[in-house]
Chain A
C-alpha cells in the first residue's frame, strides 16, 4: 500500500470519527441548525421596523400665559412624541417619570410670546429617566425634532396670518394703483418731472402688488420649510434592522460554533489520554490536524448551508450578491475560525478552560467586530484587536455580498485566509510538540 494511500486512510480516521460523533447526537444537530434560525427569527420579531414612541407628559404651570392655547405644544407632528396629558404641577409630572409612568416630561415655558417679543428665546426643559447612552441620544434627537416642530408650527401660523393680512394690503395696493393711473392721466403734458415720478410710483406699486401675490400664492408650509432632504442609498435598497443584522448574526454563529467544536476536540483527547496512543502509533501531527480540520470543515459547511438557506428562503434575508462569493467567504471564515478553535484546544489544559476562552472570544467578537458598533468609530489602536478576529472580516464580507451585491473585498478575503493558514501552521507545530517524545 502506497504511503499516500496510507496518509489518506489515516486522515479519514479522524474525519469519520469526528463526523460520526457529531451525527450520533441528533439533538445537537437540531440545536445547531434550528437554534441560529430561531435566534434570527426572534430577533426579527423582537425589533420591528419602528422607532420607540415616548409617552410624554406636558407641564404648563401657567396655561393662561400661553397665547393660542396648548395645541401648539401638544399636537407635535413627531411620531416619537405621544401626548399623555398636561399637568400643572411639575413635581407631580416628575414623580410619574420616576415611577416610569411616563417617558418624557416637557415643561412648556411661561409667557413664551412675551419672551420672544423681548428678543429672547423661550426654553423648553425636557426631563427623562434614561441611563442608556443610546436611548439618551435618541431622546435628545426626538426633543430637537419636537422643538423644531413647535417652531415650525408657530412660524406657519404667523405666516398664514401674514398671508391673510396681505389680502387686505393687496386690495389697498390695487386701489392705490388705480388712483395712480388716474393721476397719471391728469398730469398736463410738459410736466415731465411729475409724469416721471408718477410712473416710478406706478412701477413700485405694481412690483409690490406682484410680490404680495407671490407671497399669497406660496403655501405657508413651503414658506416656512423651503428646503427638505431626501436620502437615497447608492444601491437604491433599504433594509430593516433585522435584514441589516442578519449577515453579522450568521457570521457570529458560524464563528462561535466552529471555535467551540474545535476548542473541545484536542483538549478532550489530551485529557482522555489517547494522545499517548497517537504518539506510539504511526500517525503524524499533520495527519491528525488535517483530518480534524477537514472533518469539522465539512460539517460546518453543511451547517452553514442549511442556516443560510433557512435565513434567505424562510426569513427572507436579502441576498443581492453572487452565491460563489458567499460560499468562498464562508469557507475561509470557517477555516480560520476552526484554526482559532484548535489553537484554544492546544493551549487549554481543561474542557472548562477551552469553553471559557471560546466565550471570551465570542464576547470580543460582539464588541469589536462591528457587529453593532461601527468600526469607523473605534479608536485606531483597538482596531488591531478588531482585525485579529475572524468575525470582523466575515461580517464586512457578508454585508458587502448580501446587502450591497458586491464581491468580498480581496484584501479581506486574503487577509482572513492568511490568518487561517498562519494559525494552521501554529496548530501543527503545537500538536507536533504534544505528540513527540517527552524529554522532561
Chain B
C-alpha cells in the first residue's frame, strides 16, 4: 500500500487567525498553524476544547467565521471532487452500517469514493493492514469497539488519500490497541501520508512530529514533543540523587547558577529536581557545584516528565497567565 503522493515538501494546512463561532459562543479562537506535508500532526486538548470544530473547518464541513484557511492549497469551502478524493476523514463515532459485514462496509466506502471496481486486492490489503482480514465476513454491528475503529480507519484509507484527518481515532480503546493504532499511523506516514490526528490522550503527543495544544478554543502552541516539555517547564529536567542531606543554603546556591531555571524542588529526602537550559552542558557543572558544596552525588540524569504532567503544567501556566517561553 503506497501513497500516490511522494512530494514531501510544503505545508498541507495553513491556517491564519481562524475563528469559528456558533452564535455568541466562540468554539475556535484565532487559530494560526501550519501542518507540514508528510508529518504526523497531533492536535491535543481536553474534550470540548474545539478540536472537532477545527477538523470540521479543515475538511470543509464548517465554514470559518473569520480567518484564512488553505488545505492542499485550496480553501476547503471550494473543494472540488478531485480535491476531496485526496482527503480521508475518520469521524469520532462509528458511522458505518452495523447490518453490513466488514467487507461490505469497506466496499461501500470504496464505491462512494469512486474507487475502481477492480479493488478486491486493495481492500484485502487494507484489511490485512488493520488486521481484520479474518473478520471480513462478520457483521460490523457484532465487532468490538476496537475492531470498529480499525474498520473505520480502513474505510478512511480506502481511496489512498494523501491527507488524513483522524478525529480521536484512539478514543475509548484499550492502551495496547492504542499503541497498535500509532504503529499504523507511523506506517502510513512512512508511506507518504500526512496525518492530522486529534486526541484527548496527552501521552500520545510523544508519537507525533508536531503537537498543537488546544485549550478552550485557543491553540496555545505548536511544538515538537520535546519542545513541549521544555516549554512547560522552561528547560530540561535533571534529577540529582545525593548521599548526603541537602541544606537549604546549598539549594539557594545551586539556584543562583546561571543555567538553572526557577526553583529547585525536593522530590525525595536526598533527591532534587532541577530545571536547566541544556541538560547536556548543565549536568557536569551541576555535579561540580554539588562537590563544591560538599555533597556527594550518587546519580544524576535527565528525565522526561510524562506528557500528562506537561499538559497540566501548560494549562496551569495558561490559566495563571504566566508567559510560556
Contact = CB atoms under 8 A, between A and B. Distances in A.
Interface of A: 1, 6, 9-10, 12-14, 16-17, 20-21, 24-25, 272-274, 276-284, 287, 437-440
A13 B108 contact: yes
Nearest to A17: B108
Nearest to B87: A280
B111 A9 contact: yes
A261 to B, nearest CB: 14
A277 B167 CA distance: 12
The dominant DSSP class at the A interface is: helix
A273 B77 contact: no
A280 B115 contact: no
Nearest to A440: B22
Nearest to B62: A438
Contact of A10 (B87, B99, B112): B112
Contacts of B54: none
Nearest to B117: A9
Given A16-B108, A17-B100, A20-B100, A437 B115 contact: no
A438 B63 contact: yes
B61 A276 contact: yes
14 contacts: A9-B115, A13-B110, A13-B111, A17-B100, A21-B100, A24-B100, A273-B95, A274-B97, A277-B95, A279-B61, A280-B89, A282-B82, A437-B60, A439-B63
A367 B27 CA distance: 51
Contacts of B59: 279-280
Contacts of A17: 97, 100, 104, 108
A282 B89 CA distance: 12
Nearest to B86: A282
Given A24-B99, A276-B91, A281 B113 contact: yes
A439 B96 CA distance: 26
Interface string B105-129: 0011111111111000000000000
B112 A437 contact: no
A10 to B, nearest CB: 5
A437 B63 contact: yes
Contacts of A10: 111-112, 114
Given A9-B114, A17-B100, A281 B84 contact: yes
A21 B111 contact: no
Contact of B97 (A1, A21, A278): A21
Given A17-B104, A276-B91, A282 B63 contact: no
Given A17-B100, A274-B96, A282-B81, 4 more contacts: A12-B111, A24-B100, A276-B95, A282-B113
B295 to A, nearest CB: 61
B89 A437 contact: no
A277 B60 contact: no
A10 B110 CA distance: 9
Contacts of A1: 114, 116
Nearest to A13: B111
Given A9-B116, A13-B111, A273-B91, A280 B97 contact: no
A281 B61 contact: no
A12 B96 CA distance: 17
Given A16-B108, A17-B104, A17-B108, A280 B60 contact: yes
Given A13-B111, A282-B82, A440-B22, A21 B61 contact: no
A273 to B, nearest CB: 4
A5 to B, nearest CB: 8
Contacts of B114: 1, 6, 9-10, 282-283
A153 to B, nearest CB: 70
Interface in B142-186: none
Contact of A438 (B61, B89, B91, B116): B61
Contacts of A273: 91, 93, 95
From B77, B82, B91, B111, residue with most partner A Cβ within 10 Å: B111
B187 to A, nearest CB: 23
B111 A282 contact: no
B85 interface: yes
A16 B111 contact: yes
Contacts of B110: 13
A280 B112 contact: no
CB-CB nearest 7 A-B residue pairs: A13-B111, A6-B114, A282-B84, A282-B81, A274-B95, A13-B112, A280-B89
Contacts of B115: 9
Nearest to B61: A279
A280 B104 contact: no
A308 B82 CA distance: 46
Contacts of B111: 9-10, 12-13, 16
A273 B90 CA distance: 11
B4 to A, nearest CB: 14
A362 to B, nearest CB: 25
B89 A277 contact: yes
B28 to A, nearest CB: 14
B153 to A, nearest CB: 13
Contacts of A6: 114
Interface in B46-84: 56, 59-63, 77, 81-82, 84
A279 B60 contact: yes
A287 B112 CA distance: 9
A16 B108 CA distance: 8
A283 B93 CA distance: 20
Contacts of A9: 111, 114-117
A282 B85 contact: yes
Contacts of A438: 61-63
A369 B22 CA distance: 46
A13 to B, nearest CB: 3
From A274, A277, A438, residue with most partner B Cβ within 10 Å: A277
Contacts of A24: 99-100
Contacts of A13: 107-112
